[in-house]
Structure 1
């Protein structure tokens, strides 16, 4: 047989989850039992909302991790592009300043606009 010995009232006090269980089991008056049950339900709803928020955050985190996992291949592509660009720059430097350089003629005119024209630039 249950022992309904607790005749004290809750009187708006916020109960902990442990106190809620105790109140439901031992409060003498129905009004206090109902209050304990209501607080228990409210507590469960707050916890459920926290779980919903965490679930959304985990889903967002999972999407972010998936995107980050794709980065190594993109980084490898970028590194290869850098290597290719450096090769082309080296070829261009060689063509303009190195063994591939050719004579540059200055075109004179009576105007202030002077230009120089290279006969040929070899990139390969």
Structure 2
């Protein structure tokens, strides 16, 4: 049989989990036992909310890690695209300023407007064929 020897009242004080357990086991008056039980339930709900928040944070972290794992593939794709763009810039540079370029002399304004225009520039010039 339980010993209900504690006849002190809780009177609004905030109990620790251990005090809650002791109050439920030993308080003499029902009002104090109910208060201890209510505080115990409130404590459990607070802890459950913390666990829910931690689970949500962990889920978000898992998603972030998964998205970061994809990053190396994206970086590789970007490097490949940069390499392609650099090759095209090299071809354009060669076509405009290198061996593929044709000089156009401009003697006066009439030359600029009508007569002496570049026929075309090919960026398909291949450096390796030289």
**Pair in the same fold by TM > 0.5:** yes
Q: What does 1:35-46 correspond to in 2, within 5 Å?
A: 35-46=35-46
> 1:99 maps to which residue?
99
TM-score normalised per structure 1: 0.86
In 1, Cα distance between equivalents of 2:110 and 2:6: 112
In 1, Cα distance between equivalents of 2:86 and 2:100: 17
Conservation of the 8 A alpha-carbon contact between 1:96 and 1:121: yes
Q: What does 1:1-124 correspond to in 2, within 5 Å?
A: 1-106=1-106, 108-109=109-110, 114=113, 117-123=117-123, 124=125
Flag the structure with higher strand content.
1
Q: Which whole-Å deviations, capped at 9, do the CAs of 1:36-86 have from their partners, x for residues lacking one?
A: 011101111111112122222222222222111111111110011011111
TM-score normalised per structure 2: 0.83
> Which contiguous aligned blocks of 4+ residues in structure 1 show a shift greater than 6 angstroms?
none
In 1, Cα distance between equivalents of 2:16 and 2:10: 12
Number of residue pairs matched? 122
CA offset at residue 105 of structure 1? 4.2
In 1, Cα distance between equivalents of 2:117 and 2:5: 107
